[in-house]
Amino acid sequence: MNITTLKVFKILGFSFAGFGLLFVIIGLSVGIGMKNSYEKFIESAVKTTAVISDITYDIIPAQNYNETSSRSYNVFVTFNTEIRENITAKLDYYSSSMKIGQTIEIYYDPLNPYHIESGSPMYWLFLLIFSGVGFIFVILGGIFIVVSFRQDQRVKMLIDGGHYVMAEIVDAQLNYSVRINGRYPFVIQCEYEDGNGKYFFESGDIFMDPRRYIGEKIKVWVEKEYYGNYYVDLNSLYKTKIVN
């Protein structure tokens, strides 16, 4: 089994985990802030039943030719205050199940009855969606980091085993399955032949063009009894050790 590029997995792992953690932190911070604001509003608000009087929408133009325009819905409800004042105000959310004439529970500020909140607070939905996406990225990043760690250990075991062969570089091709910062990395194909036969090896990804090294030798760490488990040591191409 080839041991693939360690740096790619590390970059992806920490990038995904960092991006996801940022989403989680923002989601929790904003969600908790919305929760505290809602609960503070409810303390002095008046609960009542309102009727959905109108549902309108605004067209949001597409940003580019690959997208289609979308709709932003506005829900208006009508209710009576404690002093029999008839109020029509905009609700703070929309659901596809809403229909004109439907009754819903709301809270309104007795000092400013046009300030209303729904009886079903939406901060939990915000927390679920925003932080949920973040957790997914954290999990994906964690998987990449674990894979990278396990590969590090396998490389160390091969190198500690002390057995390697000097294989000849026969080709170098772009790996179109990986793209980082708009660049595709190269992979090196090399071969080694002894009395038992010919062996073919493929390196992990390298973002420096290695085609000038075709025909030269490269160190490949292998298990002594099983060349199918190997690691192409890209650092052996250079006089000084570098990180790909």
- Residue 166 and residue 121 share a domain: no
- Residue 101 and residue 169 share a domain: no
- Residue 52 and residue 122 share a domain: yes
Task: DSSP for 164-211, please give it.
Answer: EEEEEEEEEEE-TT--BTTBPPEEEEEEEEETTEEEEEE---BSS--G
- Residue 123 and residue 166 share a domain: no
Is residue 1 one of the residues assigned to a domain? no
Does this model's pTM top 0.85? no
- Residue 89 and residue 17 share a domain: yes
- Residue 18 and residue 119 share a domain: yes
Domain of residue 25 covers: 12-127
- Residues comprising the chain, all counted: 244
Is residue 115 one of the residues assigned to a domain? yes
Is residue 50 one of the residues assigned to a domain? yes
Is residue 224 one of the residues assigned to a domain? yes
Q: Tens of pLDDT along the chain (244 residues)?
A: 444 455 666 777 888 888 888 888 888 888 888 888 888 888 899 999 999 999 998 888 877 766 677 888 999 999 999 988 999 999 988 888 899 999 999 999 999 999 998 876 666 777 778 788 888 988 988 888 888 788 888 888 888 888 999 999 999 999 888 787 788 889 999 999 988 889 999 988 888 888 999 999 999 999 887 888 899 988 877 643 444 4
- Residue 204 and residue 98 share a domain: no
Q: What are phi and psi of 54, to 5 degrees?
A: -165, 150
Q: How far apart are CA 197 and CA 202, in angstroms?
A: 17
Last residue of a domain, one of 127, 152, 172: 127
Is residue 191 one of the residues assigned to a domain? yes
- Residue 37 and residue 103 share a domain: yes
Is residue 145 one of the residues assigned to a domain? no
Q: In what order do the strands lie in the sheet with 70-80?
A: 86-90, 70-80, 46-60, 103-109, 112-118
CA-based R_g, the chain, Å: 30
Last residue of a domain, one of 127, 152, 179: 127
Host H or E run for residue 147? helix 132-161
- Residue 47 and residue 120 share a domain: yes
Number of domains in the chain: 2
Is residue 28 one of the residues assigned to a domain? yes
Is residue 134 one of the residues assigned to a domain? no
Q: How far apart are CA 116 and CA 170, in angstroms?
A: 72
Tell the burial category of 103 from Cβ atoms under 10 Å away from its Cβ (0-12, 13-18, 19+).
exposed
- Residue 233 and residue 179 share a domain: yes
- Residue 34 and residue 122 share a domain: yes
- Residue 45 and residue 100 share a domain: yes
